[in-house]
Amino acid sequence: MINVPRGTQDLLPGETEKWQYVEEKFKALCHTYNYHEIRTPIFEHTELFQRGVGDTTDIVQKEMYTFTDRGERSLTLRPEGTASVVRSFVQHKLFGHPTQPTKLFYIGPMFRYERPQQGRMRQFVQFGVEALGSADPAIDAEVIGLAMNLYQSLGLKSLKLVINSLGDAESRNNHRHALVEHFKPHIHEFCSDCQIRLEKNPLRILDCKKDKDHPAMQTAPSILDYLNDESQAYFAQVKSYLDHMGIDYVVDKKLVRGLDYYNHTAFEIMSDADGFGAITTLSGGGRYNGLVEDLGGPETPGIGFALSVERLLMALDAEKIALPLDQALDGYVVAMGDNAVKKAVEIVYNLRQAGIQVDKDYQGKKFKAQFKAADRLKAKFVIVLGEDELAKQVVSVKDMTTGDQQEIPIDSIATEMKQLIQGGKA
């Protein structure tokens, strides 16, 4: 027997309906916020993530599914969506479009070679949005608002929004010097990756999974103490918008995020529900002014976030929220006798053409067993067709909620069933 690869999963009926439900919610919300869908390839040139996500990040150093194709190109299964969206924005010159900012959303699988555990998969599905072309702190608040809005509209309550500012280039540079000074005396106690990071990108030391308990981590200088006036003012404005929107948050000066492209606003939404696993981050995002230029485009600010559906559904489970899924079937046709069984094929086809959701037996089941099947499928109406009914050119329709039964001419079955289903009189 061959099973799914480690860190991946099959989604079976019963589960897929939940995925469809949250997907529709997310799409509807993006529509409300005026974000439009973008679909980019699942694999990209490896260089895109090396340059975009950053070659000292864990994602690029340890987690990418990279392969050489038959044309000797190095390709990578996308570990996240932002780099691809920005690549596409540059490639198709979306910056030249008269409507700015360009507000995009995406839904799709991402791949990271991580150690699997609950809420951490090697293939997971992200919902994400990216707003490109505005450096207005109001759009930071909009993106955060959209993320919170999605969770809240699904009924989640145990949410914690954590924000921080990573500042502009000048602030980051000052912070970088402070980090080097801070970590230098201890660096021989850190992992080999961190030793390289000290020179190349000391901020990445702060999210090293191996060295997270080293005492020097606790006392590391915070970026918030190095923000210049401009960066402080920007952060203050984002917070002020959140206050006005009634969105609660806490500032966590240790939040740095694991990808290199961030500056100014960084945020994560966590679940603090009891019973939610060890990993509590539901989504993360932030501003990435400079990424568009890094990927060959004109100077364009950007901000976005992404969440994984796996963790969203875990949070719903932890808060015992059942999604309002309609799993009942409109109708089930029960037929007895050779001619009726044949006629049933035509009847279900006609009903389905009229958009009515029906099913029938395909296993030669007896009358009683057909009724049982209808029951199991939670059919709202059972449409009975026996030899008697066939002779009269009618079907006998039983409303399974009220027990009411009535005859309907086969000729007008589609229109009359529609009325019945909508609650009208036949």
Residues near ligand HAM, by CB under 6 A: 80-82, 112, 114, 119-121, 124, 126, 128, 130, 258-259, 281-286, 304-308, 310-311
Any idea which residue has 């608040």 for tokens? Answer: 141
- 121 or 224: whose CB is closer to ligand HAM? 121
| Residues 359, 421 contacting (CB under 8 angstroms) | no
Comparing CB distances to ligand HAM, the nearer of 78 and 360 is 78
Give the nearest distance from C-beta 346 to ligand HAM in angstroms: 48
Burial of 130 (0-12, 13-18, 19+ CB in 10 A): buried
CA distance 426 to 424: 6
Residue 120 Ramachandran class (φ > 0 left, ψ -120 to 50 alpha, else beta): beta
Smallest separation (angstroms) from ligand HAM to the CB of 174 = 24
Measured from the Cβ of residue 195, the count of other Cβ atoms closer than 10 Å reads: 14
> What is the C-alpha to C-alpha distance for residues 83 and 92, in angstroms, rounded to an integer?
14
First to last CA, the chain: 53
Handedness of CA 143, 138, 149, 281 (dihedral sign): positive
Torsion angles phi and psi, residue 97, rounded to 5: -70, 140
Instruction: Please report how close the Cβ of residue 47 comes to ligand HAM at its closest, in angstroms.
Output: 17
CB of 171 to ligand HAM, least distance (A): 19
Q: In DSSP terms, which residues pair with 74 in a beta bridge?
A: 68
Shortest Å, Cβ 91 to ligand HAM: 18
Closer CB to ligand HAM, residue 107 or residue 374?
Answer: 107
- Please give the single-letter amino acid code of residue 81: G
54 or 331, CB closer to ligand HAM?
54
Quote the least distance from Cβ 80 to ligand HAM, whole Å: 3
Backbone phi and psi for residue 319, each to the nearest 5 degrees, phi listed first: -95, 10
Per-residue tokens: 213:
């308990």
Residue (197 or 398) nearer to ligand HAM, CB:
197
Answer for the pair 174, 226: CB distance below 8 angstroms, yes or no. yes
Smallest separation, CB 266 to ligand HAM (Å): 9
Q: Which is nearer to ligand HAM, 76 or 126 (CB)?
A: 126
Q: Fill in the DSSP letter of residue 222.
A: P
- 123 or 195: CB nearest ligand HAM: 123
* Closest residue to ligand HAM, based on beta-carbon distance: 304
**Min CB(89)–ligand HAM separation in Å:** 12
CA distance 16 to 260: 34
